[in-house]
């Protein structure tokens, strides 16, 4: 289990672009479950869309990417100092599907699974849920590189 303070020691992202609030389960080299609480106070809702707030699909994908980055870093047996010198670059996002809208008040759960890992390259399956409803999914390919 990781809270947002621990997450910030791994990811360089900060408000308003840190999109993982907590990690509830992690099995290195296998899977991660984390979540983000979506609130009406987020700036993105000022323009997406006034009077009909919908959390953008690209933000869901970015949250998956961040959750995947946490999984990769936690699987690589690095110190915090070593991790601070690395960054995750996403190489591709394939087969992205958006199945249901995400709205303020929803708790977005990210379920990330390692499909393949070789060297600095990671291929992950990402699924996002609200309650038990699948709202988005994609296959993400990333590389961990020096800053």
Q: Tell how strand 133-146 and strand 121-130 pair up.
A: antiparallel
pTM of the model: 0.95
Residue 67 lies in domain: 4-146
Q: Closest Cα to residue 101, out of 128, 69, 140, 72?
A: 128
- Distance between CA atoms of residues 142 and 122, nearest Å: 5
To the nearest whole number, what is the mean pLDDT of the chain?
95
What CATH code is carried by the domain that includes residue 86?
Answer: 3.10.129.10
What pLDDT does residue 80 have?
Answer: 78
Q: Closest Cα to residue 12, out of 114, 85, 119?
A: 85
Q: Which residue has the higher pLDDT, 10 or 40?
A: 40
- pLDDT tens column, 86-139: 888 999 999 999 999 999 999 999 999 999 999 999 999 999 999 999 999 999
> What is the tally of structural domains in the chain?
1
- Our answer to whether residue 117 is catalytic in this structure is no
Question: By mean pLDDT, which of 1-5, 13-17, 78-82 is the weakest?
Answer: 78-82
What pLDDT does residue 12 have?
Answer: 87
3-state helix, strand, coil in the chain (%, to 5): 20, 45, 35
Strand partners, 25: 33
């Amino acid at each position: 289990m990781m809270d947002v303070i621990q997450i910030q020691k791994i990811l360089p992202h900060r408000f308003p672009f840190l999109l993982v609030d907590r990690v509830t389960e992690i099995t290195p080299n296998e899977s991660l479950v984390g979540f983000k609480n979506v609130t009406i106070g987020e700036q993105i809702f000022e323009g997406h869309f006034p009077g009909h707030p919908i959390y953008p699909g690209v933000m869901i994908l970015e949250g998956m990417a961040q959750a995947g980055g946490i999984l990769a870093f936690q699987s690589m047996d690095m110190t915090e100092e070593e991790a601070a010198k690395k960054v995750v670059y996403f190489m591709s996002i394939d087969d992205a599907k958006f199945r249901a809208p995400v709205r303020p008040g929803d708790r977005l759960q990210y379920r990330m699974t390692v499909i393949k890992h070789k060297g600095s390259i990671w291929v992950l399956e990402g699924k996002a849920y609200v309650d038990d409803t699948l709202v988005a999914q994609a296959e993400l390919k990333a590389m961990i590189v020096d800053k």
